[in-house]
Structure 1
C-alpha cells in the first residue's frame, strides 16, 4: 500500500477517532503487520552488504538536501514547533552521524569472537520493530529508528504523533521509494494508517517483536505494559553548571548554540544553568553578550503565568521563535532581537515551574555559593524532573567532572559541550548518534545508554570448551574465612569432598 495514498489528518493536537471499518475488512494494524512480516522474511537472511545498502538508502531519503528542506518545512507547517533552518541541520547531521556509526559496525553473522573464552557471537534479527515517534522530530526520528532496525535485518512499523503525521507519512514514502530503487521490499518500512489512535498504537505494541518509544511518558508506560519487550526513553530537564574556572564566553556561546537550536525542541536542550557565586555576574554578562535577555522580577512573573496554563506548558509558546516569546511576555524593546531569555529562580520542585523542562527559549538561572552547592542544586533539579537523563559542566577542573559522574544519578555527564550537540552523539563526542536516549532505572527505562542497532538484534552464542578456569576455595573464600575465623583444614575437606 502506497503511503502517498493514505488519508492524512488535518493538523490537530486532539486525539483522533478511528474510521469505522467495513464488516469483514481486515484490521488495519493486522494488515500492516502481515505485510511487515512478509517483507522481513525476505530480508532476514540478507548479507552485510545488503543490510548496509538498505541503511544507506534510508539515510539518503532524508539526507538528500531537497528532501531535508521539504520535510523541515512540512514539519514546521504541521506542528508549529521549531524552525526550518535548524530542522534541516538536525535531519542531515543526525542522519549522517548515524550512518557513520552503523556502517562501522557488523550486524550480520559473526559480530564478535572471544577465543580466550571460547565464545563466538552471531547476530540475528528480532523481526518487526514497532516505533512510536514524537511530534518534535516527525521526520528525523522515524529515519533514525528505521536505519537501526534495518541494520539488524528487521522490518519497522511507525506509529507517529498525530500532530506530525503528514511529515512522517512523507518520509516513510521516501524511505520506501529508496528501498524499491535498490530492489528491496518497500514494506520493510511502514506507517500505521491515519488516524493514529491509542488503540491502534497499543495493537501495534502487542503484535510486534520489540517496541521502541520516543515521546510521551504515557506511551512509554503503555509500551512497558504491552507484554512485548520494550525500550522507552525518559524526559529531559538538563541542568548545567558554570564554575569559577570556566572560560565564560566559551561556555555562554555553547549554551546559546545548544539552547536556541530548533527553538529548544530537543530533550537535551539546557533548561537550567547553575552558576557559582564567584563568577555569577560575569557569567550573566557573558550570556548577555552571547544573545540572552535577562528578565526583571516583574517580567519573570509574566513568563511563568504565560508559559504555563493550568499547570501545563502552553502549546502556543513552546518551541517558538524568540520574537514570538518577547511579544507574548510583554518584554521591552531591548528584548527584541535577543535569541533566548534568562529567568532567575531560587526554588526547585512542583511549586516552581521554572525548575522543570520548558521546551522553550527560556533558561532558568540559579546562583550557587560554590561548586558543592551547585552540585546539590543539580541533584535537586534532576530529582524533580529529568533524573537519569543528563547534566553538564563548564570547567577546566576535571576532578569536578569526575565528582559529578561518581555522585549523580544520570546516564551522561557532558563537560564543555553545547549539550544538544554532544548528548545524542556528536563528531567530537564518543556517544553514538541517536534521537532516543535511555535514562536507566532512574526513569524506569530498560537501557542506560544511547539507543543503537545493538538493541534491535538477538545474539546467538556459540560456546566451545576452553582450559578449565576453576579457582580453589581458598582463592574465593579465603578473605571471608579470615574474617570469621574459619579453619583452613575444614575448608580443604570441603573442597576435597566436592
Structure 2
C-alpha cells in the first residue's frame, strides 16, 4: 500500500495517521469472516434504533439542517442497504479466479482513508464511508464539516463501543479533532493514502489538489422531466416524496422540473393537491432576495422546511407579508416558481438545497431534453436526470445524449439515485459524476473504490487472430491500400 507519511512528519495529525497505520497493520491480517464482523459492528452502531435517533436529533440540533424523522430513516435505510450490498462480497484474499483468462484477482487494502463528510448528512455519510473502508481492511479518519463534528464524534464513540465487543482496534476509526480547520484537513489529506470527499466543491477540489489519490463528487442540481405520457398523480407523488425528504438536503433532490406543455396543468394540480404552492411573480422575486441576498445561497434556507422559508420571507417582505403568512398557514410542503432562464442571472436554475422547485415549460420531449442540457451546462453536469414517462425509449435517448451518469425512471429521485431496495444501484451517499462533473469516476461509490487489486497472470493457450479477422471488414469496404 501507499504510505504518504514522510519520516519527518510530526504533530497531532501525523500522530492520528500513525495510530491509524498501526491499527491497520493488525487489521490487515484479519480473515474475511473477521472483517465482515467489523463491518456488522460499525453498521449496528448507527442502525440500533436508540442510537440512530440520538444521532439524528444531534445532527438537526447542531446543524439546523433537515428534520429528525427523515434523518432517522436515512441513517437506517442507507446503512442497512449498504450492509445488504456488502453481504457475501469478497474483499479479503482471492476475490476472483478466471482460468480461461489465467487471471486471479487478490484484494488488498489501500491503507489509511481520509473521509471528508458534509453537514447535510453528518451521520449517514460518515457511516457509509467507514463501513466501505472497513470492508477493504482499511483504517479511516473522518474529517467532518465543523457543524457536523459532534454527530460524527458520537457515531465514532458508538462504533468504538461495538469494536470493544469484537476485539477490533479502536484506532481503525478516528476523527479529526475539533475545531476542524482547512489546514488540519489539508494535512490529513496529504498524509493519508486515499481521500474520499463528499460535500462542497471547494472540498472536492482540495481533495484532488492534495497530491493523494482522491475520489470526489460533482455538484448536484438535478432536473426531472415529466412528459405528456406520464401519470400525473404518480409522478407528483414521487416528486413530492423526493423533494421534501430531509428538507431537500440531498444532492439528488430535484431542483428543477421540465414539464411538457400537455402535462403542465394536470401535473401542477397534482403537486398542489399534495401540498406544493406555486408562487406569483412578486413572491418569486421576494424569495430570490431571501435565498441569494449577495448572490450566494443563504444558510437561512438550506435544509429548512417550506413553511419556515415562507415565514422568513414574510419577515423580510413587508409588502407581501400577508400573502406569505397565508402560505405559511397552509403548511406548504414545496414552494414552486415558474422559470424560463438559465445561468447566474437566474439563480433558480441552480441548486437550492431546500424545498423550492423551479418549473420549466417545454413544447415536447425534445425541447425538455434541450432545456435540461442547458441547465447542466450551468450547473449539475454528470450527476443524474429524472424521467416520468410511459415511453421506455426516452430513457435511452437521455442516456445516450445528456451529460449524466444516471437516468432515474419513474422513481422518487433522491431515494433512488443513491441505491434503493427496488433498483439495482449500489447504496451510497457519494455519487460520481464522471468527467462531465470533473470527477474521475461515474459510479455510486462502493467498497471496491476502497481496494487495491493485485492480478496474478498465468500463461494460457495462445490465440493470435488472423489479419483477416482484424482488418477484413475494413479491407472489404475500403481496400487494402
2:350 is aligned, of 329, 351, 356, to: 356
Match of 2:270 in 1: 286
- CA–CA distance in 1 between the matches of 2:263 and 2:66? 32
Q: How does 1:232-243 map to 2 (within 5 A)?
A: 232-243=216-227
2:435 is aligned, of 435, 438, 441, to: 441
| 1:282 shift after superposition | 1.1
Counterpart check, 1:469 vs 2:463: yes
Q: How does 1:399-478 map to 2 (within 5 A)?
A: 399-478=393-472
- CA–CA distance in 2 between the matches of 1:394 and 1:408? 16
Q: TM-score, normalised by structure 1?
A: 0.91
Match of 1:369 in 2: 363
1:184 is aligned, of 155, 158, 168, to: 168
Contact map agreement 2:223 2:386 (CA 8 A) in 1: yes
- CA–CA distance in 1 between the matches of 2:327 and 2:310? 10
| 1:483 shift after superposition | 4.8
Contact map agreement 1:249 1:290 (CA 8 A) in 2: no
Paired residue secondary structure (1:411): coil
| 1:478 shift after superposition | 2.9
- CA–CA distance in 1 between the matches of 2:203 and 2:471? 48
Match of 1:307 in 2: 291
The alignment yields a C-alpha RMSD, in angstroms, of: 1.4
Contact map agreement 2:310 2:327 (CA 8 A) in 1: no
Paired residue secondary structure (1:312): coil
| 1:25 shift after superposition | 12
1:50 is aligned, of 34, 49, 67, to: 34
2:178 is aligned, of 168, 173, 194, to: 194
Q: TM-score, normalised by structure 2?
A: 0.94
Match of 1:398 in 2: 392
Paired residue secondary structure (2:95): strand
| 1:387 shift after superposition | 0.1
Match of 1:109 in 2: 93
Q: How does 1:34-183 map to 2 (within 5 A)?
A: 34-183=18-167
Match of 1:333 in 2: 326
Paired residue secondary structure (1:388): coil
Match of 1:21 in 2: none
| 1:334 shift after superposition | 4.3
- CA–CA distance in 1 between the matches of 2:200 and 2:283? 30
- CA–CA distance in 2 between the matches of 1:404 and 1:32? 46
Higher radius of gyration, 1 or 2? 1
Which ranges in structure 2 are unaligned for 5 or more consecutive residues?
1-7, 315-323
Paired residue secondary structure (1:410): coil
- CA–CA distance in 1 between the matches of 2:9 and 2:402? 54
Q: How does 1:10-25 map to 2 (within 5 A)?
A: none
- CA–CA distance in 2 between the matches of 1:172 and 1:478? 62
The ranges of structure 1 where at least 4 consecutive aligned residues each deviate by more than 4 angstroms after the TM superposition are none
Match of 2:318 in 1: none
- CA–CA distance in 1 between the matches of 2:358 and 2:130? 36
Question: How many residues are paired up?
Answer: 464
| 1:216 shift after superposition | 1.2
| 1:309 shift after superposition | 1.6
- CA–CA distance in 2 between the matches of 1:486 and 1:314? 65
Which ranges in structure 1 are unaligned for 5 or more consecutive residues?
1-23, 488-498
- CA–CA distance in 2 between the matches of 1:227 and 1:76? 34
Q: How does 1:473-484 map to 2 (within 5 A)?
A: 473-484=467-478
- CA–CA distance in 2 between the matches of 1:47 and 1:409? 41
Paired residue secondary structure (2:453): strand
Match of 1:16 in 2: none
Paired residue secondary structure (2:140): strand
- CA–CA distance in 2 between the matches of 1:334 and 1:185? 54
The verdict on how the C-alpha distance between 1:25 and 1:45 changes in structure 2, with shifts beyond 3 A counting, is closer
| 1:323 shift after superposition | 1.8
Contact map agreement 1:244 1:278 (CA 8 A) in 2: yes
